[in-house]
Structure 1
Amino acid sequence: MRETATPFAADHSGHRNVTDLLVRRERAAPDHAAFDVPEDGGWRRVSTTEFADTVRAAAKGLIAQGVGAGDAVAIMSPTRYGWAVADLAVWFAGGVVVPVYDSSSPEQVAEILHDAGVRAAFSGDDRSRALLESCTLPLGVWSLDDDLDRLAALGEGVDDLDLEARRTTAGPDTPATIVYTSGTSGAPRGAVLTHANFLGQVLNIAAAYRDIVRSDGSTVIFLPLAHVLARGLQLICLASGMRIAHLSAPSEVIAALPSLRPTFLVVVPRVLEKIAEAAAQKAATAGLSRVWDDAVRTAVAAGSRREAREAGARGTWAPVAAARTRVHDAVFFRRVRALLGGRIRYILSGGAPLPTRTSLLFRGMGVPVVEGYGLTETTAPLTGNLPGAIRSGTVGVPLPGSAVRIADDGEVLARGVGVFSGYRDPRDDADAFVDGWFRTGDLGRLDDAGRLILEGRTKDVVTTSQGKTVSPARWEREVESSPLVAYAVTVGDDRPYLTAMLLLDREAVARVHDVRDPRPLDDDPAIRALLEPVVTAANARVARSERVRRFALAYAEPDDRELVTPTLKIRRRALLQRASDTIDRLYL
């Protein structure tokens, strides 16, 4: 199969722009709890009407301060409730939102604000405020901590009719936001997403996942709201009545889940791997490592059986396996579910490939993981597994209103309601489209059921000096399945054979080895002894031409924005440049 599509499940033509989502939800359920916000050490419920009133007041303030229709307004802040207020307020004022990652460097902030023509901005902390103010914006910078009430007071002279006229200025094809890609292999580019892109995605994804996104459910958003996935999720939940809580630091999430008790979470794969690693560590501390290992095998097998049943396979009842699952559930699995709040029905994983074994593990523990795939340019998910039809190892079928085609060279092409029409700089569009399809830059294939299986990035393909062309994604995924390895990056362009840089998780290494050892990491025989079997196993699962002969070690530094994007993807080109001397030594 080379092409597949899914018809629309919802009609968004009756909506003029994104603000209609809030207006209609307020009309339908004014008193329904839309948000949980932190207050006095606990959480306070915020109704749809209270949120809408706060948005309108802030929007009036923006208008009073001179923000005009079509003006670009930046938001640079950690994930928080105020981010949601500012996002909708800019749209109510007729503006265009420009999200900026709060971890961005001063140079990146200046480039984005200049390129987008930003006239005003919201800041979430002292650092972001200082960076934004250093750019001397015409209409200034407002703090999400201190200035929302001041904005509301400034806007008291703007009447409701004037606000409504401004709110309805933007049409479906009007730009809603300019999102700058995080740039794993090149300079960030400003993707212009329209109101129609958001509306089509929000309504169709909500229809596809109506069993998950429900008014009696809740979620916790801790991914950066500067990322389109988190913003899309927020709009879907807001339009559907699913209550939202925000957390600015992923490290706060696990402690907060028992009190927030969400029914649904969106995570990146590393979060799930960390949860599994934490469970393994607790088992080891209690002297139960062998029991945990058996529990993992049991859960993976149980997850496989459940997926097979969903696919229509018939199997004999296995009483011994069922009994083992019940025992491990009593000892381990129910504790993992309790750690997640005790009410989780599904988890959505995106942002990077999810190892099949991790997906099956959580499925077997009673927490199904729905893996999806999308890009900034597709306004969040393009494909996704659906409840009752999850197939681990795939990122599912095209979501309603979307289509996927596989090009002759294996590149994944996309078309549909969420696919943008182009970048802010038209020069960036030159190689972005082919025959009306967006070139994702990812390699993949479709199975017989039309599910997409990703197989790497086109720009990550390695061509050796012997003319062998290799897609290293499978090898890298196998190595990254080790808790010790945060990133595996294959090297070999114009070289006689493949080598690799393995970037290790410092905390994971500390649990199994004394990190105070004065020897350089790459010269530490104990660490290399732990990783040699991992590399050997990965080599055994790929073709001879895809095997790595030698590897070098370094620690991953998640806060190093020159090497790691805000969504925790490695910037391969930057890594290869920084580690060039180390890589050269691998070929001596």
Structure 2
Amino acid sequence: MPQIHTPLLAPADGYRNVTDLLVRRAERAPDHAAFDVPVGDGSWRQVSTAQFLADVRRLAKGLIAAGVAAGDSLAILASTRYEWAVADLAAWFAGAVVVPVYETSAPVQVAGIVRDADVVLGVGGTEAQTRLLADAFAETGTGRLGAYAMDPRDRVTGGIPVLDDLRARADEVTDADLEQRRTAADRDTPATIVYTSGTTGEPKGAVLTHENFLGQVLNIAAAYGEVVHERGNTIIFLPLAHVLARGLQLICLANGMRIAHLSEPSTVVETLPVLRPTFLVVVPRVLERIQAAAAQKADAAHLTRVWRAAVATAVSSGRAAERSADGRAPASVRRRLFEVLFYRRLRAVMGGRVDYILSGGARLDPEVSLFFRGIGVPVIEGYGLTETTAPLTGNLPGDIRAGTVGRPLPGSTVRIGDDGEILAKGIGVFRGYRDPAHDADAFVDGFFRTGDLGRFDADGRLVIEGRAKDVIVTSTGKTVVPAPWEFAVESDPLVSHAVMVGEGRSYLSALILLDPEEVAARGGAPAGGALREVADADLRARIQRSIDAANARVARSEQVRRFVLVAADLADTTIVTPTLKIKRRVLLERGSDVVAALYR
């Protein structure tokens, strides 16, 4: 079986647990700005590493005073914000195990998580989020130490305790007691229990150790020193409940890269020119929307043909940059022209200082990647899962290839099984789920089974080809991997998700879930609400072009004959995961009548 290993760059020797990352950074650069924090009037204040450490220590003492013991589970349910970072590190300083909960989680999901993790204390962001935790505690008999809100008391009503109540008890715990608790955990100790999104089954609690985080933070920082450094800054707007966002936060914190948090992704564009980040982590949809918005502006200015030429030139330049020895595309008259007309304006939209963008969470259209590289903003794609403590593979600065997710990162081994499944082993790979029953099919020969299908290209870079459980077998016996076709259709801005169907059928069909924002922006009816078919001839004609283009990319037996446009509530966490992946089984169950109509 094909297998590629990348040696460690930075062993975790000398580090006891994750808290050492913050302590050592504060010793090296106490006055360096670690965070940008909003002050409520559109402006931002900077928080130094020393101040952040002081905030963490004070809350950690409060947690200990409240009764949190070493090894206890502490849940955090809040939007992405500075206080999330404080609570996360404070829990580790107190020796607790952090259980992140997505703020979009339904009450039944919250109850399931706090029950399974046996949570003793909860931290919510707002009053509503804190009540959600409190209700889950009451239902499950957990949370004996209560639920506390991050918001101050003047924003919380009804007697809900707040974190300031815990901070007020900090003097009950000595510095020596806190240090003893902070250093109680070693590298083998569980640091967090992260519950997977569950696209194909029930959520599972992945237990990640301090060594998992330390290994990832130290080695990724060593591999990406050109990207993450103390001269730069970033904005985190992905949910901090996601292990990628938390891992990124630790990497930045340990290496002095200033962090700003945004709780509303919709405000990112207006914030970019203010904070002017040097690095961003996004999901592919963000890049697709930036490009689509530019296309719409060009269309409004009657420059559609010029814009298309600019896109083609950028993609060509990106491709040339991949082939060049120094990673740069040769200058040309057309490129200089489009630089003035479009490219520098797009970079200005992103703040004007972005050196690199990391795209993860889903597959990125190679031409979108090449486009951004062509305008001067290289996009690094990576691949990982909760169970691998986020990044497992990644393209590196100066060695980026669109359409791939790079080689294994330092300390990681990737193997392709006989059936095409991606198998993983290494510093970031967890040892198992909280429920040992979930481990039965999770490992083979010491490798974690990712459930994803992939292959290595000629240069040893990983190419993702779909999910193993999503394979369709038609009534003719043909086995079809739907991901390539679906991915091609999803490159259309009007399409949020494309779901191929045809298990046991004589031909393939598809449900096309519309993107509500794009449909509304182009003059169509908003595509929200309950799952339903959309009969719009104009929309269908536009999307038919994407269907035809996707069919042209695959074999005849893998082409979709019929499709239906579908509107759905994409904020519904029962059909879409917090990381914006579709829950196929649930969707197809709810849309069974729509699917049946495709075969009448």
Counterpart among 251, 262, 268 of residue 253 in structure 1: 268
Counterpart among 185, 188, 196 of residue 173 in structure 1: 188
Q: Tell me, in whole angstroms, the C-alpha distance in 2 between the residues paired with 1:537 and 1:240.
A: 45
Q: Tell me, in whole angstroms, the C-alpha distance in 1 between the residues paired with 2:565 and 2:130.
A: 37
Shift of 1:556: 4.3
TM alignment of 1:482-561, pairs within 5 A:
482-515=492-525, 522-561=534-573
Query: Does residue 32 of structure 2 align to residue 20 of structure 1?
Result: no
Shift of 1:215: 0.5
What is aligned with 1:301? 316
Contact preservation (8 Å) 1:266, 1:348: yes
Q: Tell me, in whole angstroms, the C-alpha distance in 2 between the residues paired with 1:312 and 1:400.
A: 22
What is aligned with 2:128? 127
What is aligned with 1:427? 437
Look up the equivalent residue of 2:547 and give its one-letter code: V
What is aligned with 1:49? 50
What is aligned with 2:252? 237
CA 1:310–1:182 in 2, change beyond 3 Å: closer, same or farther? farther
Query: Does residue 292 of structure 2 align to residue 277 of structure 1?
Result: yes
Contact preservation (8 Å) 1:383, 1:397: yes
Deviations 1:279-304 (A, max 9, x none): 11111121211111111111111100
Look up the equivalent residue of 1:70 and give its one-letter code: G
TM alignment of 1:320-469, pairs within 5 A:
322-469=332-479
CA 1:38–1:511 in 2, change beyond 3 Å: closer, same or farther? closer
Shift of 1:513: 4.0
Specify every segment of 5 or more residues in structure 2 that has no aligned partner in the other structure, as ranges: 153-161
Deviations 1:369-413 (A, max 9, x none): 000000000001000000000000000000000010000000000
Specify the SS of the correspondent of 1:478: helix
Shift of 1:498: 0.7
Look up the equivalent residue of 2:194 and give its one-letter code: V
Contact preservation (8 Å) 1:522, 1:528: no
Shift of 1:525: 1.8
Shift of 1:312: 8.9
Contact preservation (8 Å) 2:490, 2:497: yes
What is aligned with 2:3? 3
What is aligned with 2:76? 75
Specify the SS of the correspondent of 2:324: helix
Q: Tell me, in whole angstroms, the C-alpha distance in 2 between the residues paired with 1:127 and 1:312.
A: 49
Counterpart among 135, 140, 148 of residue 142 in structure 1: 148
Query: Does residue 243 of structure 2 align to residue 228 of structure 1?
Result: yes
Counterpart among 219, 223, 229 of residue 204 in structure 1: 219
Contact preservation (8 Å) 1:443, 1:454: yes
Look up the equivalent residue of 1:262 and give its one-letter code: P
Q: Which moved more, 1:354-363 or 1:142-151?
A: 142-151
Query: Does residue 572 of structure 2 align to residue 566 of structure 1?
Result: no
Deviations 1:404-463 (A, max 9, x none): 000000000000000000000000000000000000000000112211000000011101
Contact preservation (8 Å) 2:327, 2:398: no
What is aligned with 2:595? 583
Contact preservation (8 Å) 2:228, 2:255: yes
Look up the equivalent residue of 2:145 and give its one-letter code: L
Q: Tell me, in whole angstroms, the C-alpha distance in 1 between the residues paired with 2:131 and 2:58.
A: 25
Shift of 1:234: 0.1
Deviations 1:471-496 (A, max 9, x none): 01110111011111110000011111
Specify the SS of the correspondent of 1:156: helix
Q: Tell me, in whole angstroms, the C-alpha distance in 2 between the residues paired with 1:16 and 1:563.
A: 40
What is aligned with 1:219? 234
Specify the SS of the correspondent of 2:430: coil
Shift of 1:142: 1.1
Contact preservation (8 Å) 1:396, 1:451: yes
RMSD, matched Cα: 1.5
Q: Which moved more, 1:56-65 or 1:491-500?
A: 491-500
Shift of 1:334: 0.6
Q: Tell me, in whole angstroms, the C-alpha distance in 2 between the residues paired with 1:245 and 1:569.
A: 25
Query: Does residue 165 of structure 2 align to residue 184 of structure 1?
Result: no
Q: Tell me, in whole angstroms, the C-alpha distance in 1 between the residues paired with 2:288 and 2:504.
A: 34
Query: Does residue 94 of structure 2 align to residue 93 of structure 1?
Result: yes
Contact preservation (8 Å) 1:12, 1:199: yes
Aligned length: 581
Contact preservation (8 Å) 1:521, 1:527: no
Q: Tell me, in whole angstroms, the C-alpha distance in 2 between the residues paired with 1:437 and 1:159.
A: 44
Moved over 4 A (4+): 310-313
Q: Share of identical aligned residues, percent?
A: 62
Shift of 1:40: 4.2
TM-score by length of structure 1 reads: 0.97
Look up the equivalent residue of 1:109 and give its one-letter code: V
Look up the equivalent residue of 1:98 and give its one-letter code: V
Look up the equivalent residue of 1:2 and give its one-letter code: P
Specify the SS of the correspondent of 2:429: coil
Specify the SS of the correspondent of 1:523: coil
Shift of 1:148: 3.0
Specify the SS of the correspondent of 2:235: strand
Q: Tell me, in whole angstroms, the C-alpha distance in 2 between the residues paired with 1:125 and 1:300.
A: 44
What is aligned with 1:32? 32
Query: Does residue 85 of structure 2 align to residue 84 of structure 1?
Result: yes
Q: Tell me, in whole angstroms, the C-alpha distance in 2 between the residues paired with 1:511 and 1:152.
A: 47
Q: Which moved more, 1:278-287 or 1:470-479?
A: 278-287
Specify the SS of the correspondent of 1:214: coil
Q: Tell me, in whole angstroms, the C-alpha distance in 2 between the residues paired with 1:511 and 1:224.
A: 26
What is aligned with 1:154? 169
Deviations 1:222-265 (A, max 9, x none): 00000000000000000000000000011011100111010000
Contact preservation (8 Å) 2:75, 2:101: yes
Look up the equivalent residue of 1:543 and give its one-letter code: A
Q: Tell me, in whole angstroms, the C-alpha distance in 1 between the residues paired with 2:52 and 2:244.
A: 21
Deviations 1:27-73 (A, max 9, x none): 01000000000114211010000000000000000000000000000
Q: Tell me, in whole angstroms, the C-alpha distance in 2 between the residues paired with 1:546 and 1:328.
A: 39
CA 1:328–1:72 in 2, change beyond 3 Å: closer, same or farther? same
Query: Does residue 112 of structure 2 align to residue 111 of structure 1?
Result: yes
Contact preservation (8 Å) 2:216, 2:427: yes
Look up the equivalent residue of 1:547 and give its one-letter code: Q
Look up the equivalent residue of 2:550 and give its one-letter code: A
Contact preservation (8 Å) 2:517, 2:526: no
Contact preservation (8 Å) 1:486, 1:556: no
What is aligned with 1:58? 59
Contact preservation (8 Å) 2:383, 2:392: yes
Q: Tell me, in whole angstroms, the C-alpha distance in 2 between the residues paired with 1:516 and 1:239.
A: 44
Contact preservation (8 Å) 1:299, 1:363: yes
Shift of 1:514: 3.5
Shift of 1:521: 5.4
CA 1:390–1:310 in 2, change beyond 3 Å: closer, same or farther? farther
Q: Tell me, in whole angstroms, the C-alpha distance in 1 between the residues paired with 2:113 and 2:520.
A: 38
Q: Tell me, in whole angstroms, the C-alpha distance in 2 between the residues paired with 1:91 and 1:500.
A: 46
